[in-house]
Structures are given as structure tokens and as C-alpha cells.
Amino acid sequence: MADGPGEGSSHMRVIVRVRPPNSRERDTNHRLVVQVVDDQMLVLDPKEQAEPSFLQGRQLRQRNMLARKPKDLRFVFDRVFDDTATQEEVFEGSTRSLVEGTLNGFNCTGNRAAR
């Protein structure tokens, strides 16, 4: 998405919205494959936080040699909305300035010559 007229720049903005799990995913307790870190970062295929095991007061490392290792890939975006974000929050944080700019006569496609 291109910046609005008041932004002073014509670079592309990338905004991500993580959808909430659907009923089937909730019912079968699927593993989450996206973890939102903050409003600009998410982790794809995050490591699972396992409960620590202890033997004689010492923590044991649990390792399943057959399990696939998570990728734990971190990505930074201009804005990330988690699965609790409302439609209004997403609109306000992503599209409102474009709509207002268009209604005020600005060309929001990136072609600055038209106005």
C-alpha cells in the first residue's frame, strides 16, 4: 500500500493481518504457525515452548529426534495486526489515509503527477 498524501513519501507499505483460528482449528487444538511479536514483527513456524522436565533437581532437555525442527522465521512489516484486531482497527491503521487522500483529490496509485 502506498503512503497517503500527508506522509511525504511514496514507498510501498506492507501490512499483515493474522486471522483468528477457525472452529475446526480450535476444536482439534492445531499448533499455531504464526506468532505476533508486536505491531511490526511476526514469527512464522515458531518454536514451541515446552514445559521443562526435572530429574533429581536438574532440568532435562526434551528432544524428539523424529520431530521436524521449527523454522522460527522472523519478519518485520510496516504494520502487523494480530488475530484480535477488529475491522475498524485494521481500516484505521491501514486504509483510512488512502481513502481520505483519494476523496481529497490525491492519486493514491503512486503516480504523483496526477492531482
pLDDT per residue as tens digits for the range 46-99: 887 555 555 556 665 665 556 667 788 999 999 999 999 999 999 999 999 888
Q: What is the pLDDT of residue 114?
A: 47
- The answer on pLDDT for 106 being more than 60 is yes
Angle (CA) 98-7-39 rounded to 5° is 80
Where do the structural domains in the chain lie, given as residue ranges? 5-103
| pTM score over 0.85 | no
Domain covering 5-103 assigned CATH 3.40.850.10 in the classification: yes
Angle (CA) 20-26-32 rounded to 5° is 60
3-class secondary structure, 44:
strand
Q: State how far the Cα of 11 lies from the Cα of 82, in Å rounded to an integer.
A: 24
Q: State how far the Cα of 63 lies from the Cα of 36, in Å rounded to an integer.
A: 25
Q: Which residue has the higher pLDDT, 87 or 11?
A: 87
